[in-house]
Amino acid sequence: MINVKKTMDAIHRVFADTGRILDNWRLKYLGHEVICNAYGARSDWMWIHIHVYKYRCRKPCVSWHLAYNYVRKALDMSKSKFVNL
């Protein structure tokens, strides 16, 4: 469905360009799930779960739940959620 390596590289570039992370911070892919509507039909959207690690830290500092349209290959940051850990 999605190429995890290419998607994570693209997310890292977007986060670094917008100032959400620094270039030497790491992203860890935790998984994804396709969003279904009330009738059980699959949509074009999925949640991508990632952790953000600062440079030389073992514990994650931020957990992101990103809304990703895998047909258009686009992130929607207005629908995405994060938690500072």
Hey, where are the domains in the chain? 4-77
Give the pLDDT band of residue 54 (cuts 50, 70, 90). Answer: very high
State the pLDDT at residue 83.
95
By the 8 A CB rule, do 33 and 2 touch?
no
Give dist(CA 85, CA 69) in Å, integer.
Answer: 26
- Could you report the per-residue pLDDT of 8-53, keeping only the tens digit for each? 999 999 999 999 999 999 999 999 998 887 777 778 899 999 999 9
Q: Write down the pLDDT at residue 1.
A: 67
